């Protein structure tokens, strides 16, 4: 894979978990990274320091992707600091499981505001502020290919991202920008494991061909490839990173 040297990448929701691993992978390949976070500044700065120690540059910028003004500021501060934006990774998201009959308006709105509006706001900013020949990678989920009770609203928010990404790929392709979605399966992160029994974790792991949970690194490697020049002919695609789960 070619180096990402000289490229500037925003990774939303990258203070921990999959987002942090994506940011570090892009940094190891030479990109300069913007670590976006909402509230956990200490975690964001920890990721920044790891990227710097690995030989690249990084800064953290606080912004709530569900707020248009914050997203606009995220892009403007990045351009002010680094001069441009080449790569946008929409990783920020929230999953609040509930049966549809038990889903409150607040639960519905929170997932739609962060998962869907957050991507919409960044795509709209990218339409004028992402550099020509850039790359956009949006994180969806393998649950858009499955039928799991309690995932109704979450999966609806993620399928909206997939469709929006396909359309945007056609709209912005004339500037050499490719747009794709990555669909992780169950992945071993602190947030994913929290509150789950060993039995449930084993059951989820057994749903794929390799009989294990994914790792953040598994996902980060796919994203890093899609951000590279080798992936330029790939656009408007939904790429499963789930060990043949679905």
Over residues 182-226, the pLDDT tens digits come to 999 999 998 788 888 999 899 989 999 999 999 999 999 999 999
Q: How much is the average pLDDT of 78-102?
A: 97
Which position has the higher pLDDT, 13 or 1?
A: 13
Architecture of domain 8-232: 3-Layer(aba) Sandwich (3.40)
Q: Minimal CA–CA distance to 47: which of 74, 71, 70, 19?
A: 19
Catalytic residues, by residue number, are 154
Domain boundaries, given as residue ranges, for the chain:
8-232
What integer pLDDT is reported at residue 195 of this predicted model? 83
What integer pLDDT is reported at residue 1 of this predicted model? 57
Answer whether residue 23 shows pLDDT above 90.
yes
Tell which phi-psi region holds residue 85, choosing left (phi > 0), alpha (psi between -120 and 50) or beta. beta
Q: Minimal CA–CA distance to 93: which of 187, 173, 217?
A: 187
pTM of the model: 0.97
Question: Contact at 8 Å (CB) between 76 and 34?
Answer: no
């Amino acid at each position: 894979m070619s180096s990402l040297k000289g490229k500037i990448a925003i990774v939303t929701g990258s203070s921990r978990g999959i987002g942090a691993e994506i940011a570090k992978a892009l940094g190891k390949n030479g990109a300069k990274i913007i670590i976006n976070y909402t509230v956990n500044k200490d975690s964001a700065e920890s990721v920044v320091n790891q990227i710097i120690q690995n030989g690249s540059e990084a800064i953290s910028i606080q912004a709530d992707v569900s707020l248009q003004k914050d997203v606009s500021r995220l892009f403007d501060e990045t351009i002010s600091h680094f001069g441009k934006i080449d790569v946008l990774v929409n990783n920020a998201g929230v999953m609040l499981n509930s049966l549809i009959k038990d889903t409150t308006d607040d639960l519905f709105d929170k997932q739609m505001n962060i998962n869907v509006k957050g991507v919409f706001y960044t795509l709209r900013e990218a339409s004028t502020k992402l550099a020509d020949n850039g790359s956009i990678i949006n994180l969806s989920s393998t649950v858009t290919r499955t039928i799991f009770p309690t995932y109704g609203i979450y999966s609806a928010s993620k399928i909206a991202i997939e469709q929006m990404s396909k359309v945007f790929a056609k709209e912005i392709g004339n500037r050499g920008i490719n747009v794709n979605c990555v669909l992780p399966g169950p992945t071993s992160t602190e947030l994913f494991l929290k509150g789950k029994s060993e039995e449930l974790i084993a059951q989820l792991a057994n749903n794929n061909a390799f009989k294990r949970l994914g790792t953040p690194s598994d996902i980060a490697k796919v994203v890093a490839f899609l951000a590279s020049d080798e992936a330029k002919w790939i656009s408007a695609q939904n790429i499963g990173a789930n060990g043949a789960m679905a």
